[in-house]
Structure 1
Protein backbone atom coordinates (compact mmCIF):
# COMPACT_ATOMS: atom_id res chain seq x y z
CA UNK A 1 0.00 0.00 0.00
CA UNK A 2 2.78 2.46 0.91
CA UNK A 3 6.45 2.27 -0.07
CA UNK A 4 8.98 4.82 1.13
CA UNK A 5 12.39 4.85 -0.52
CA UNK A 6 15.32 6.85 0.91
CA UNK A 7 13.04 9.69 2.01
CA UNK A 8 14.97 12.79 3.13
CA UNK A 9 13.97 16.29 4.18
CA UNK A 10 16.56 18.93 5.01
CA UNK A 11 15.86 22.34 6.51
CA UNK A 12 19.11 24.16 5.93
CA UNK A 13 21.76 22.03 7.57
CA UNK A 14 19.25 19.99 9.62
CA UNK A 15 18.06 16.63 8.31
CA UNK A 16 14.60 16.30 9.90
CA UNK A 17 14.10 13.00 8.04
CA UNK A 18 17.22 11.28 6.75
CA UNK A 19 17.26 8.43 4.21
CA UNK A 20 14.25 6.55 5.59
CA UNK A 21 13.02 3.49 3.70
CA UNK A 22 10.05 1.39 4.81
CA UNK A 23 6.96 -0.31 3.40
CA UNK A 24 3.51 -0.81 4.92
CA UNK A 25 1.24 -3.63 3.77
CA UNK A 26 -2.40 -3.21 2.80
CA UNK A 27 -4.92 -3.67 5.60
CA UNK A 28 -2.39 -3.45 8.43
CA UNK A 29 -1.88 -1.12 11.40
CA UNK A 30 1.54 0.50 11.42
CA UNK A 31 3.00 2.69 14.15
CA UNK A 32 5.73 5.32 13.90
CA UNK A 33 7.36 5.92 17.27
CA UNK A 34 10.36 7.78 18.65
CA UNK A 35 11.38 10.58 21.00
CA UNK A 36 10.10 14.12 20.60
CA UNK A 37 11.90 15.73 17.67
CA UNK A 38 12.61 12.39 16.01
CA UNK A 39 11.00 13.49 12.74
CA UNK A 40 7.69 11.61 13.01
CA UNK A 41 5.34 14.45 12.06
CA UNK A 42 7.72 15.62 9.33
CA UNK A 43 7.61 12.06 7.99
CA UNK A 44 3.79 12.25 7.84
CA UNK A 45 4.00 15.68 6.20
CA UNK A 46 6.24 14.25 3.48
CA UNK A 47 4.08 11.19 2.88
CA UNK A 48 0.83 13.20 2.71
CA UNK A 49 2.20 15.90 0.40
CA UNK A 50 2.09 18.73 2.95
CA UNK A 51 5.77 19.38 2.24
CA UNK A 52 8.04 18.21 -0.58
CA UNK A 53 11.03 15.96 0.15
CA UNK A 54 14.60 17.00 -0.51
CA UNK A 55 15.15 13.56 -2.02
CA UNK A 56 13.64 10.09 -2.03
CA UNK A 57 10.36 8.62 -3.23
CA UNK A 58 6.83 7.99 -1.92
CA UNK A 59 4.81 5.32 -3.72
CA UNK A 60 1.15 5.03 -2.72
CA UNK A 61 -0.87 2.08 -3.97
CA UNK A 62 1.56 1.56 -6.85
CA UNK A 63 1.69 5.22 -7.91
CA UNK A 64 4.61 7.58 -7.41
CA UNK A 65 3.13 10.52 -5.48
CA UNK A 66 6.42 12.23 -4.65
CA UNK A 67 5.99 15.99 -4.92
CA UNK A 68 2.21 15.94 -5.40
CA UNK A 69 0.18 18.49 -3.43
CA UNK A 70 -1.70 17.36 -0.32
CA UNK A 71 -5.08 17.74 -2.04
CA UNK A 72 -3.91 15.62 -4.97
CA UNK A 73 -2.69 12.89 -2.63
CA UNK A 74 -5.96 13.04 -0.70
CA UNK A 75 -7.97 12.51 -3.89
CA UNK A 76 -5.95 9.36 -4.52
CA UNK A 77 -7.18 7.98 -1.19
CA UNK A 78 -4.83 9.13 1.59
CA UNK A 79 -6.45 10.87 4.59
CA UNK A 80 -4.74 12.58 7.52
CA UNK A 81 -5.56 13.66 11.05
CA UNK A 82 -3.45 16.01 13.17
CA UNK A 83 -2.19 16.21 16.74
CA UNK A 84 -4.53 19.12 17.45
CA UNK A 85 -8.12 18.55 16.37
CA UNK A 86 -9.33 21.77 14.75
CA UNK A 87 -13.04 21.96 13.97
CA UNK A 88 -15.49 24.71 13.03
CA UNK A 89 -16.60 25.08 16.64
CA UNK A 90 -19.68 27.20 15.91
CA UNK A 91 -21.04 24.71 13.35
CA UNK A 92 -22.73 21.38 14.00
CA UNK A 93 -20.75 18.15 13.98
CA UNK A 94 -22.53 17.06 10.81
CA UNK A 95 -21.73 20.33 9.02
CA UNK A 96 -18.07 19.86 9.95
CA UNK A 97 -18.07 16.44 8.30
CA UNK A 98 -19.83 17.48 5.11
CA UNK A 99 -16.61 19.31 4.21
CA UNK A 100 -14.74 16.00 4.04
CA UNK A 101 -16.47 14.52 1.01
CA UNK A 102 -16.27 17.80 -0.92
CA UNK A 103 -12.95 16.76 -2.45
CA UNK A 104 -14.93 14.09 -4.36
CA UNK A 105 -17.51 16.50 -5.79
CA UNK A 106 -17.53 18.32 -9.13
CA UNK A 107 -19.87 21.26 -8.50
CA UNK A 108 -18.53 24.68 -9.47
CA UNK A 109 -19.40 28.23 -8.47
CA UNK A 110 -21.81 28.28 -11.41
CA UNK A 111 -23.65 25.28 -9.95
CA UNK A 112 -23.99 27.19 -6.68
CA UNK A 113 -25.33 30.32 -8.40
CA UNK A 114 -27.83 28.36 -10.49
CA UNK A 115 -28.75 25.84 -7.80
CA UNK A 116 -28.26 22.96 -10.24
CA UNK A 117 -29.37 19.36 -9.83
CA UNK A 118 -25.71 18.30 -9.66
CA UNK A 119 -25.15 20.60 -6.70
CA UNK A 120 -28.22 19.28 -4.88
CA UNK A 121 -27.32 15.65 -5.60
CA UNK A 122 -23.76 16.17 -4.36
CA UNK A 123 -24.97 17.93 -1.20
CA UNK A 124 -27.20 14.93 -0.47
CA UNK A 125 -24.32 12.50 -1.02
CA UNK A 126 -22.02 14.56 1.23
CA UNK A 127 -24.60 14.40 4.03
CA UNK A 128 -25.00 10.66 3.56
CA UNK A 129 -21.22 10.13 3.69
CA UNK A 130 -20.98 12.32 6.79
CA UNK A 131 -23.70 10.34 8.59
CA UNK A 132 -22.12 7.03 7.60
CA UNK A 133 -18.76 8.17 8.98
CA UNK A 134 -20.37 9.39 12.22
CA UNK A 135 -22.15 6.08 12.67
CA UNK A 136 -18.88 4.21 12.05
CA UNK A 137 -17.09 6.07 14.86
CA UNK A 138 -20.05 5.73 17.23
CA UNK A 139 -21.19 9.36 17.21
CA UNK A 140 -24.40 9.29 15.21
CA UNK A 141 -26.23 10.73 18.22
CA UNK A 142 -24.20 13.99 18.22
CA UNK A 143 -24.64 15.07 14.59
CA UNK A 144 -26.70 18.13 15.55
CA UNK A 145 -24.49 19.16 18.49
CA UNK A 146 -22.33 22.26 18.15
CA UNK A 147 -18.74 21.05 17.64
CA UNK A 148 -17.42 23.41 20.32
CA UNK A 149 -19.57 21.65 22.95
CA UNK A 150 -18.35 18.07 22.53
CA UNK A 151 -15.66 16.37 24.64
CA UNK A 152 -12.00 15.91 23.70
CA UNK A 153 -12.54 12.20 23.09
CA UNK A 154 -15.52 12.96 20.86
CA UNK A 155 -13.41 15.51 18.94
CA UNK A 156 -10.88 12.76 18.27
CA UNK A 157 -13.65 10.55 16.90
CA UNK A 158 -14.99 13.41 14.77
CA UNK A 159 -11.49 13.84 13.32
CA UNK A 160 -11.51 10.14 12.42
CA UNK A 161 -14.95 10.56 10.85
CA UNK A 162 -13.80 13.59 8.86
CA UNK A 163 -10.93 11.53 7.44
CA UNK A 164 -13.27 8.62 6.69
CA UNK A 165 -15.73 10.87 4.85
CA UNK A 166 -13.09 11.47 2.15
CA UNK A 167 -13.35 7.77 1.12
CA UNK A 168 -9.72 6.90 1.91
CA UNK A 169 -7.82 3.65 1.57
CA UNK A 170 -4.94 4.81 3.82
CA UNK A 171 -5.28 6.74 7.07
CA UNK A 172 -2.44 8.71 8.69
CA UNK A 173 -3.31 9.37 12.34
CA UNK A 174 -1.07 11.79 14.25
CA UNK A 175 -1.30 11.06 18.00
CA UNK A 176 -4.93 9.86 17.84
CA UNK A 177 -5.04 9.17 21.60
CA UNK A 178 -3.34 12.37 22.72
CA UNK A 179 -5.12 14.15 25.57
CA UNK A 180 -7.61 11.40 26.43
CA UNK A 181 -7.79 9.19 29.54
CA UNK A 182 -6.87 5.46 29.67
CA UNK A 183 -10.45 4.23 29.30
CA UNK A 184 -11.00 6.48 26.28
CA UNK A 185 -7.67 5.31 24.84
CA UNK A 186 -8.93 1.73 24.88
CA UNK A 187 -12.04 2.81 22.98
CA UNK A 188 -10.02 4.70 20.36
CA UNK A 189 -7.70 1.71 19.93
CA UNK A 190 -10.74 -0.50 19.29
CA UNK A 191 -11.96 2.00 16.70
CA UNK A 192 -8.58 1.95 14.93
CA UNK A 193 -8.73 -1.86 14.87
CA UNK A 194 -12.25 -1.59 13.42
CA UNK A 195 -10.89 0.65 10.64
CA UNK A 196 -8.25 -1.94 9.72
CA UNK A 197 -10.78 -4.76 9.89
CA UNK A 198 -12.94 -2.83 7.41
CA UNK A 199 -10.08 -2.92 4.89
CA UNK A 200 -8.28 0.35 5.57
CA UNK A 201 -4.54 0.62 6.00
CA UNK A 202 -3.60 2.65 9.07
CA UNK A 203 -0.37 4.44 10.00
CA UNK A 204 -0.26 6.23 13.34
CA UNK A 205 2.12 8.28 15.40
CA UNK A 206 1.60 7.66 19.10
CA UNK A 207 3.47 7.92 22.41
CA UNK A 208 1.22 5.57 24.40
CA UNK A 209 3.35 2.44 24.19
CA UNK A 210 0.90 0.02 25.81
CA UNK A 211 -1.63 0.97 23.14
CA UNK A 212 0.92 0.60 20.33
CA UNK A 213 2.28 -2.74 21.50
CA UNK A 214 -1.23 -4.21 21.64
CA UNK A 215 -2.44 -2.68 18.39
CA UNK A 216 0.28 -2.41 15.74
CA UNK A 217 1.20 -5.09 13.24
CA UNK A 218 4.45 -3.27 12.44
CA UNK A 219 6.42 -0.51 14.13
CA UNK A 220 8.90 1.95 12.60
CA UNK A 221 11.23 3.66 15.07
CA UNK A 222 12.78 7.04 14.26
CA UNK A 223 15.48 8.88 16.18
CA UNK A 224 17.08 12.15 15.06
CA UNK A 225 15.32 11.73 11.71
CA UNK A 226 16.78 8.31 10.99
CA UNK A 227 15.25 4.85 11.05
CA UNK A 228 16.84 2.88 13.88
CA UNK A 229 14.54 -0.15 13.76
CA UNK A 230 11.41 -1.68 12.27
CA UNK A 231 9.55 -4.87 13.07
CA UNK A 232 6.76 -6.45 15.06
CA UNK A 233 5.96 -5.19 18.56
CA UNK A 234 7.82 -8.17 20.04
CA UNK A 235 10.89 -7.43 17.95
CA UNK A 236 10.84 -3.72 18.83
CA UNK A 237 10.34 -4.42 22.52
CA UNK A 238 13.43 -6.66 22.50
CA UNK A 239 15.64 -4.35 20.42
CA UNK A 240 18.43 -2.95 22.62
CA UNK A 241 18.94 0.12 20.41
CA UNK A 242 15.26 1.05 20.72
CA UNK A 243 15.24 0.40 24.46
CA UNK A 244 18.21 2.72 24.94
CA UNK A 245 16.94 5.45 22.61
CA UNK A 246 13.28 5.50 23.55
CA UNK A 247 11.42 2.70 25.31
CA UNK A 248 13.39 2.28 28.50
CA UNK A 249 13.77 -0.94 30.45
CA UNK A 250 10.13 -1.06 31.57
CA UNK A 251 9.06 -1.94 28.02
CA UNK A 252 11.78 -4.50 27.39
CA UNK A 253 10.60 -8.01 26.52
CA UNK A 254 10.55 -10.37 29.46
Structure 2
Protein backbone atom coordinates (compact mmCIF):
# COMPACT_ATOMS: atom_id res chain seq x y z
CA UNK A 1 0.00 0.00 0.00
CA UNK A 2 2.81 2.40 0.92
CA UNK A 3 6.43 2.04 -0.17
CA UNK A 4 9.25 4.04 1.40
CA UNK A 5 12.38 4.00 -0.76
CA UNK A 6 15.74 5.00 0.75
CA UNK A 7 14.30 8.01 2.57
CA UNK A 8 16.66 10.37 4.37
CA UNK A 9 15.81 13.58 6.23
CA UNK A 10 18.49 16.01 7.35
CA UNK A 11 18.02 19.12 9.46
CA UNK A 12 21.27 21.00 8.92
CA UNK A 13 23.97 18.76 10.33
CA UNK A 14 21.49 16.41 12.04
CA UNK A 15 20.26 13.33 10.18
CA UNK A 16 16.91 12.42 11.75
CA UNK A 17 16.06 9.59 9.32
CA UNK A 18 18.79 7.83 7.36
CA UNK A 19 18.25 5.71 4.25
CA UNK A 20 15.08 3.98 5.48
CA UNK A 21 13.22 1.63 3.16
CA UNK A 22 10.08 -0.24 4.18
CA UNK A 23 6.53 -1.06 3.13
CA UNK A 24 3.19 -0.60 4.86
CA UNK A 25 0.99 -3.59 4.09
CA UNK A 26 -2.70 -3.10 3.32
CA UNK A 27 -5.14 -4.52 5.86
CA UNK A 28 -2.56 -4.97 8.62
CA UNK A 29 -1.56 -3.24 11.83
CA UNK A 30 1.95 -1.96 11.11
CA UNK A 31 4.00 -0.60 14.02
CA UNK A 32 7.13 1.50 14.43
CA UNK A 33 9.09 1.28 17.67
CA UNK A 34 12.38 2.55 18.98
CA UNK A 35 13.95 4.74 21.67
CA UNK A 36 13.10 8.41 22.12
CA UNK A 37 14.82 10.41 19.39
CA UNK A 38 15.00 7.44 17.03
CA UNK A 39 13.24 9.34 14.22
CA UNK A 40 9.77 7.78 14.50
CA UNK A 41 7.71 10.98 14.48
CA UNK A 42 9.94 12.47 11.78
CA UNK A 43 9.16 9.36 9.72
CA UNK A 44 5.42 10.02 10.17
CA UNK A 45 5.95 13.67 9.25
CA UNK A 46 7.59 12.56 6.01
CA UNK A 47 4.81 10.14 5.09
CA UNK A 48 2.01 12.60 5.93
CA UNK A 49 3.55 15.48 3.98
CA UNK A 50 4.32 17.66 6.99
CA UNK A 51 7.94 17.79 5.83
CA UNK A 52 9.65 16.68 2.62
CA UNK A 53 12.50 14.14 2.54
CA UNK A 54 16.01 15.28 1.72
CA UNK A 55 16.46 12.24 -0.51
CA UNK A 56 14.41 9.16 -1.34
CA UNK A 57 10.82 8.65 -2.41
CA UNK A 58 7.41 7.80 -0.96
CA UNK A 59 4.90 5.90 -3.09
CA UNK A 60 1.25 5.48 -2.04
CA UNK A 61 -0.91 3.05 -4.01
CA UNK A 62 1.46 3.29 -6.95
CA UNK A 63 1.60 7.11 -6.97
CA UNK A 64 4.72 9.05 -6.07
CA UNK A 65 3.65 11.42 -3.28
CA UNK A 66 7.14 12.64 -2.36
CA UNK A 67 7.05 16.32 -1.45
CA UNK A 68 3.25 16.73 -1.62
CA UNK A 69 1.69 19.05 0.95
CA UNK A 70 -0.06 17.55 3.98
CA UNK A 71 -3.52 18.51 2.68
CA UNK A 72 -2.79 16.85 -0.67
CA UNK A 73 -1.61 13.68 1.05
CA UNK A 74 -4.73 13.68 3.24
CA UNK A 75 -6.99 13.97 0.20
CA UNK A 76 -5.30 10.90 -1.27
CA UNK A 77 -6.29 8.94 1.84
CA UNK A 78 -3.51 9.21 4.45
CA UNK A 79 -4.64 10.63 7.79
CA UNK A 80 -2.79 10.93 11.09
CA UNK A 81 -3.00 11.71 14.77
CA UNK A 82 -0.33 13.38 16.92
CA UNK A 83 1.35 12.64 20.24
CA UNK A 84 -0.38 15.64 21.77
CA UNK A 85 -4.10 15.72 21.03
CA UNK A 86 -4.84 19.33 20.12
CA UNK A 87 -8.51 20.24 19.76
CA UNK A 88 -10.57 23.42 19.64
CA UNK A 89 -11.32 23.30 23.37
CA UNK A 90 -14.01 25.99 23.32
CA UNK A 91 -15.93 24.23 20.53
CA UNK A 92 -18.10 21.15 20.92
CA UNK A 93 -16.72 17.72 20.15
CA UNK A 94 -19.07 17.50 17.17
CA UNK A 95 -17.89 20.84 15.76
CA UNK A 96 -14.26 19.67 16.09
CA UNK A 97 -15.09 16.67 13.91
CA UNK A 98 -16.97 18.66 11.28
CA UNK A 99 -13.60 20.22 10.44
CA UNK A 100 -12.24 16.76 9.62
CA UNK A 101 -14.52 16.17 6.64
CA UNK A 102 -14.01 19.69 5.30
CA UNK A 103 -11.15 18.56 3.04
CA UNK A 104 -13.69 16.50 1.05
CA UNK A 105 -15.86 19.54 0.27
CA UNK A 106 -15.67 22.12 -2.55
CA UNK A 107 -17.55 25.14 -1.22
CA UNK A 108 -15.67 28.44 -1.15
CA UNK A 109 -16.15 32.09 -0.36
CA UNK A 110 -18.78 32.61 -3.06
CA UNK A 111 -20.86 29.75 -1.65
CA UNK A 112 -20.69 31.33 1.81
CA UNK A 113 -21.65 34.80 0.56
CA UNK A 114 -24.64 33.52 -1.38
CA UNK A 115 -25.58 30.64 0.93
CA UNK A 116 -25.64 28.25 -2.01
CA UNK A 117 -27.33 24.90 -2.19
CA UNK A 118 -23.91 23.24 -2.45
CA UNK A 119 -22.79 24.88 0.80
CA UNK A 120 -25.91 23.75 2.66
CA UNK A 121 -25.60 20.22 1.35
CA UNK A 122 -21.92 19.99 2.23
CA UNK A 123 -22.56 21.35 5.73
CA UNK A 124 -25.21 18.66 6.20
CA UNK A 125 -22.82 15.99 4.95
CA UNK A 126 -19.97 17.18 7.20
CA UNK A 127 -22.28 17.00 10.22
CA UNK A 128 -23.46 13.54 9.20
CA UNK A 129 -19.89 12.25 8.77
CA UNK A 130 -18.91 13.76 12.13
CA UNK A 131 -21.76 11.93 13.88
CA UNK A 132 -20.84 8.67 12.14
CA UNK A 133 -17.21 9.04 13.27
CA UNK A 134 -18.28 9.75 16.87
CA UNK A 135 -20.53 6.71 16.87
CA UNK A 136 -17.69 4.57 15.47
CA UNK A 137 -15.35 5.49 18.35
CA UNK A 138 -18.09 5.21 20.98
CA UNK A 139 -18.44 8.89 21.86
CA UNK A 140 -21.89 9.86 20.61
CA UNK A 141 -22.82 10.79 24.17
CA UNK A 142 -20.26 13.63 24.32
CA UNK A 143 -21.12 15.21 20.95
CA UNK A 144 -22.39 18.46 22.46
CA UNK A 145 -19.82 18.78 25.24
CA UNK A 146 -16.95 21.24 24.94
CA UNK A 147 -13.77 19.49 23.83
CA UNK A 148 -11.93 21.09 26.75
CA UNK A 149 -14.19 19.29 29.24
CA UNK A 150 -13.64 15.68 28.18
CA UNK A 151 -11.13 13.18 29.60
CA UNK A 152 -7.71 12.34 28.16
CA UNK A 153 -8.94 8.96 26.95
CA UNK A 154 -11.94 10.61 25.28
CA UNK A 155 -9.61 13.13 23.62
CA UNK A 156 -7.64 10.20 22.19
CA UNK A 157 -10.86 8.75 20.77
CA UNK A 158 -11.83 12.14 19.32
CA UNK A 159 -8.44 12.20 17.57
CA UNK A 160 -9.26 8.77 16.10
CA UNK A 161 -12.66 10.10 15.01
CA UNK A 162 -11.12 13.21 13.47
CA UNK A 163 -8.82 11.02 11.38
CA UNK A 164 -11.78 8.83 10.44
CA UNK A 165 -13.85 11.84 9.32
CA UNK A 166 -11.35 12.49 6.51
CA UNK A 167 -12.34 9.12 4.96
CA UNK A 168 -8.81 7.65 5.06
CA UNK A 169 -7.38 4.49 3.57
CA UNK A 170 -4.32 4.59 5.84
CA UNK A 171 -4.21 6.06 9.36
CA UNK A 172 -0.95 6.97 11.11
CA UNK A 173 -1.34 6.93 14.90
CA UNK A 174 1.42 8.63 16.90
CA UNK A 175 1.43 7.19 20.45
CA UNK A 176 -2.34 6.62 20.56
CA UNK A 177 -2.20 5.16 24.08
CA UNK A 178 0.07 7.81 25.61
CA UNK A 179 -1.16 9.08 28.98
CA UNK A 180 -3.98 6.57 29.49
CA UNK A 181 -4.29 3.70 31.97
CA UNK A 182 -4.08 -0.03 31.12
CA UNK A 183 -7.85 -0.53 30.89
CA UNK A 184 -8.17 2.46 28.55
CA UNK A 185 -5.17 1.20 26.55
CA UNK A 186 -6.98 -2.10 25.96
CA UNK A 187 -10.04 -0.19 24.73
CA UNK A 188 -7.95 1.86 22.29
CA UNK A 189 -6.26 -1.31 21.01
CA UNK A 190 -9.67 -2.79 20.29
CA UNK A 191 -10.63 0.41 18.47
CA UNK A 192 -7.53 0.02 16.28
CA UNK A 193 -8.60 -3.53 15.45
CA UNK A 194 -12.02 -2.14 14.55
CA UNK A 195 -10.39 0.27 12.08
CA UNK A 196 -8.70 -2.66 10.34
CA UNK A 197 -11.90 -4.73 10.30
CA UNK A 198 -13.57 -1.84 8.48
CA UNK A 199 -10.90 -1.73 5.77
CA UNK A 200 -8.61 1.00 7.16
CA UNK A 201 -4.93 0.12 7.30
CA UNK A 202 -3.11 1.28 10.44
CA UNK A 203 0.48 2.24 11.17
CA UNK A 204 1.24 3.28 14.74
CA UNK A 205 4.08 4.49 16.91
CA UNK A 206 3.85 3.33 20.50
CA UNK A 207 6.07 2.75 23.53
CA UNK A 208 3.72 0.32 25.31
CA UNK A 209 5.31 -2.93 24.26
CA UNK A 210 2.64 -5.23 25.64
CA UNK A 211 0.12 -3.43 23.44
CA UNK A 212 2.36 -3.53 20.37
CA UNK A 213 3.30 -7.19 20.71
CA UNK A 214 -0.34 -8.27 20.98
CA UNK A 215 -1.69 -5.88 18.32
CA UNK A 216 0.83 -5.48 15.48
CA UNK A 217 1.18 -7.76 12.49
CA UNK A 218 4.47 -6.20 11.37
CA UNK A 219 6.98 -4.07 13.29
CA UNK A 220 9.81 -1.83 12.11
CA UNK A 221 12.46 -0.75 14.61
CA UNK A 222 14.32 2.55 14.31
CA UNK A 223 17.42 3.57 16.24
CA UNK A 224 19.30 6.82 15.67
CA UNK A 225 17.26 7.33 12.50
CA UNK A 226 18.19 3.98 10.95
CA UNK A 227 16.13 0.83 10.51
CA UNK A 228 17.76 -1.92 12.56
CA UNK A 229 15.08 -4.60 12.25
CA UNK A 230 11.74 -5.46 10.70
CA UNK A 231 9.43 -8.44 11.06
CA UNK A 232 6.70 -10.09 13.08
CA UNK A 233 6.40 -9.46 16.83
CA UNK A 234 8.02 -12.84 17.52
CA UNK A 235 10.95 -12.02 15.24
CA UNK A 236 11.41 -8.59 16.81
CA UNK A 237 11.32 -9.95 20.36
CA UNK A 238 14.09 -12.42 19.55
CA UNK A 239 16.31 -9.99 17.62
CA UNK A 240 19.52 -9.32 19.62
CA UNK A 241 20.02 -5.85 18.10
CA UNK A 242 16.50 -4.79 19.12
CA UNK A 243 16.86 -6.21 22.62
CA UNK A 244 20.12 -4.36 23.07
CA UNK A 245 18.93 -1.04 21.60
CA UNK A 246 15.40 -0.86 22.97
CA UNK A 247 13.42 -3.77 24.34
CA UNK A 248 15.67 -5.05 27.11
CA UNK A 249 15.53 -8.56 28.44
CA UNK A 250 12.03 -8.22 29.97
CA UNK A 251 10.41 -8.23 26.52
CA UNK A 252 12.70 -10.80 24.91
CA UNK A 253 11.46 -14.23 23.97
CA UNK A 254 12.24 -16.53 26.94
* TM-score bracket relative to the smaller structure: over 0.9
**Residue of structure 2 equivalent to 1:196:** 196
The 5 Å alignment of 1:152-167 reads: 152-167=152-167
**Per-residue deviation, 1:51:** 0.3
Deviation per CA, 1:228-254, whole angstroms, max 9, x where unpaired? 000000000000000000000000012
Deviation per CA, 1:45-92, whole angstroms, max 9, x where unpaired? 001110010000101111110000000000000001000000010110
Secondary structure of 2:30's partner? strand
Equivalent-residue separation in structure 1 for 2:37 and 2:90 (angstroms): 34
**Residue of structure 2 equivalent to 1:88:** 88
Query: What is the aligned-residue RMSD (CA, Å)?
Result: 0.5
**Residue of structure 2 equivalent to 1:220:** 220
Deviation per CA, 1:187-218, whole angstroms, max 9, x where unpaired? 00000011011111100000000000000000
**Residue of structure 1 equivalent to 2:48:** 48
TM-score by length of 2: 0.99
- 4+ residue stretches of structure 1 with deviation over 4 A? none
Equivalent-residue separation in structure 2 for 1:41 and 1:183 (angstroms): 25
Does residue 171 in structure 1 map to residue 171 in structure 2?
Answer: yes
The 5 Å alignment of 1:79-118 reads: 79-118=79-118
**Per-residue deviation, 1:148:** 0.5
**Per-residue deviation, 1:25:** 1.0
Secondary structure of 2:88's partner? coil
Secondary structure of 1:17's partner? strand
**Per-residue deviation, 1:24:** 1.3
**Residue of structure 2 equivalent to 1:121:** 121
**Per-residue deviation, 1:13:** 1.7
**Residue of structure 2 equivalent to 1:59:** 59
Secondary structure of 1:26's partner? coil
**Per-residue deviation, 1:96:** 0.3
**Residue of structure 2 equivalent to 1:209:** 209
Which region of structure 1 is more displaced relative to structure 2, 7-16 or 96-105? 7-16
The 5 Å alignment of 1:8-19 reads: 8-19=8-19
TM-score by length of 1: 0.99
Equivalent-residue separation in structure 1 for 2:25 and 2:205 (angstroms): 17
